[in-house]
Amino acid sequence: MDADDFLDESVMPDVQRYEKMLRNKSTEYFEAETLEQIADYYILKDKLKKALEVIYYAEGLYPGYTDFLLLKAEVFGLMGKYDDAIQVVERVELYEPYNPELHLLKGELFLNSEQFDEAEESFTRALLQADDRIDMLFEIAYVYEDCDLYSKAVDYFNQILDESPGNEQACYELANCYDLLGRYDECIRIYEDMLDNDPYNANAWYSKGIIYSKILDFNSAIESFDYCLAIDDEYILARFHRANELVELHRYEEALEEYRTVIEKDGPDSITFCNMAGCLERMNRTTEAREYYRKATQVNPNIAEAWFGIGLTLEKDGSIKEAVSYYKRATILDAVNTEYLMQLAEAEYRLGNITEAEELYRKVTELEPEDMEAWLDWSFVEFHNGKEEAAIELLYEAVTHNPDCHQYYYRLFTYLYLTGKTAQAKEYLETALLLNFNEHFLIYEWAPSILQADEITQLIDAFRNSYQ
């Protein structure tokens, strides 16, 4: 149970009494603190209009109570009504000019309305009035993080470290910002500084390993996780990620052993079972892989990855019809996963279920209009089922989403040429050759008969001589 659950439990009788009052169109007395809690409850439930109604009611009972004004400003801010929120804060500021929380809120509102200079001015005033400067620096940095302005958050976390050297919380927050900015070298530097001061900091070793994993330095990641586990053998996340890195290095048996240890120490886990299954798949041990995918579904029946994995192993073993039912289960659980939809579409096509395959390709292209494979595969299905014009129209549409995709033009050339539209086909071939000459072999893969077409060979040779 988290803090929100405790709030729900403690405030519900008051919420029910308040809502009963509204239904009866009566008036009841509530303490100011109770009304604040009811408003907070509605805010947490994202019922902002109801929160405002509570605040207006509270203002009638407690006129001049500035806490309700600040709460109103907060709600206006959550509703995106930043100008209204700032006006409310400025009303309170007339009575409480030295309230640091007021200036912090005002700065946040300015920031959300992209009035950056005004925000900085308010944050400066908040710092001047704060009893604890370090705490306020954290609060301001968090505001910038919430607005995805990580470079500005970095400035404040660095300021904290200047004034409070070695502040561990600031170190982790600063590293997180660098991570989000893609400045991984800076992340590693921070963790190394922390470890210089405290070599037995297991969290720092773990975090360092995660960064090495992101930059694909798997050996260094494993080394960091090894140090973490040497300090704390029960650090399950470090062991889990160590196994993942072993997989990347094709050290499958070691990875499996590590995953088994994770299960032994932490109990059955669907993600770990899926990772074990994936590892076994890479080793071509499909029957064993399928069993681990099944174990994952027993732990969590709603894990789409595992149902999909069962389908993959069945298809690899030649049971494509049985695989389709598992692919369908995966797509029900994760209806927007285009990988699952594409695999199901291909399987349906192979089973001769053309209509089903067409609908699946349609869905993929709606979800991801720039998915090249979906357009090409869908057009292939249409063309090879006698719908040549439909296939060509599909690629015309595909080009509108990605006009620089040379594969579309090569495929269009092929379809047009095979349907006798030679002049138009040559135009698309010339465009394709301009975009990527080296892949002109694609047309021969799709239509080997074109190898016998001297006019096309001559066009390609002429282009080679002119542009190479």
Mean pLDDT of 266-277: 96
pLDDT band, very low/low/confident/very high, at 3 (cuts 50, 70, 90): very low
Output the pLDDT for position 446.
Answer: 86
Q: Which helix (H) or strand (E) holds 368?
A: none
Residue 440, token pair as written in the block? 């002109």
Q: Dump pLDDT digits (tens) for 79-135.
A: 999 999 999 999 889 888 899 999 999 999 999 999 999 999 999 999 999 999 999
CB of 246 closer than 8 Å to CB of 266: no
Q: Has residue 259 got a pLDDT over 90? A: yes
Output the pLDDT for position 467.
Answer: 63
CB of 235 closer than 8 Å to CB of 229: yes
Q: Dump pLDDT digits (tens) for 388-398.
A: 999 999 999 99
Output the pLDDT for position 468.
Answer: 56
Query: Other C-beta atoms within 10 Å of 200: how many?
Result: 11
Output the pLDDT for position 397.
Answer: 97
Location of structure tokens 């709603």: 302
State the DSSP code for 29: -
Return d(Cα 126, Cα 347) in angstroms, integer: 62
Q: CA torsion sign, 368 to 374 to 375 to 381?
A: negative
Return d(Cα 7, Cα 42) in angstroms, integer: 11
Residue 25, token pair as written in the block? 């169109």
CB of 276 closer than 8 Å to CB of 292: yes
Output the pLDDT for position 15.
Answer: 94
Q: Has residue 435 got a pLDDT over 50? A: yes
State the DSSP code for 115: -
CB of 238 closer than 8 Å to CB of 261: no
Q: Dump pLDDT digits (tens) for 188-247.
A: 999 999 999 999 999 999 999 999 999 999 999 999 999 999 999 999 999 999 999 999
Q: Dump pLDDT digits (tens) for 19-63.
A: 999 999 898 899 999 999 999 999 999 999 999 999 999 999 998
Mean pLDDT of 242-256: 97
CB-neighbour burial class of residue 42 (10 A; exposed 0-12, middle 13-18, buried 19+):
buried
Backbone angles phi, psi at 11, to 5 degrees: -95, -15
CB of 380 closer than 8 Å to CB of 354: no
Q: Has residue 6 got a pLDDT over 70? A: no
Q: Has residue 5 got a pLDDT over 70? A: no
Output the pLDDT for position 7.
Answer: 53
Query: Other C-beta atoms within 10 Å of 371: how many?
Result: 20
Backbone angles phi, psi at 250, to 5 degrees: 65, 25
Return d(Cα 232, Cα 242) in angstroms, integer: 14
Q: Has residue 255 got a pLDDT over 80? A: yes
Percent of the chain residues past pLDDT 70, beyond the cut? 98
Residue 447, token pair as written in the block? 């239509």
Distances in Å between the Cα of 114 and the Cα atoms of 91, 136, 238 are: 21, 21, 40
First to last CA, the chain: 68
Look over the chain and give the mean of its residue pLDDT values, rounded to a whole number: 93
Output the pLDDT for position 2.
Answer: 46
Residue 410, token pair as written in the block? 């090569």
Contacts 24+ apart (CB under 8 A), 278-284: 278/247, 278/309, 279/247, 279/252, 279/255, 280/252, 280/256, 281/309, 281/312, 281/313, 281/316, 282/247, 282/250, 282/252, 283/252
* 202-214 and 168-180 helices, crossing angle to 10°: 10
List the one residue out of 300, 299, 301, 275 whose CA is nearest residue 289.
Answer: 275
E strand spans, 359-468: none
Q: Dump pLDDT digits (tens) for 366-389.
A: 999 999 999 999 999 999 999 999
pTM value is 0.82
Q: Which of 68-72, 140-144, 192-196 comes out lowest in average pLDDT?
A: 68-72
Q: Which of 52-66, 151-165, 317-331, 444-458 comes out lowest in average pLDDT?
A: 444-458
Return d(Cα 178, Cα 154) in angstroms, integer: 8
Alpha carbon 159 to chain centroid distance? Answer: 30
Q: Has residue 447 got a pLDDT over 90? A: no
Q: Has residue 352 got a pLDDT over 60? A: yes
Query: Other C-beta atoms within 10 Å of 40: how many?
Result: 17
CB of 304 closer than 8 Å to CB of 269: no
Percent of the chain residues past pLDDT 90, beyond the cut? 86
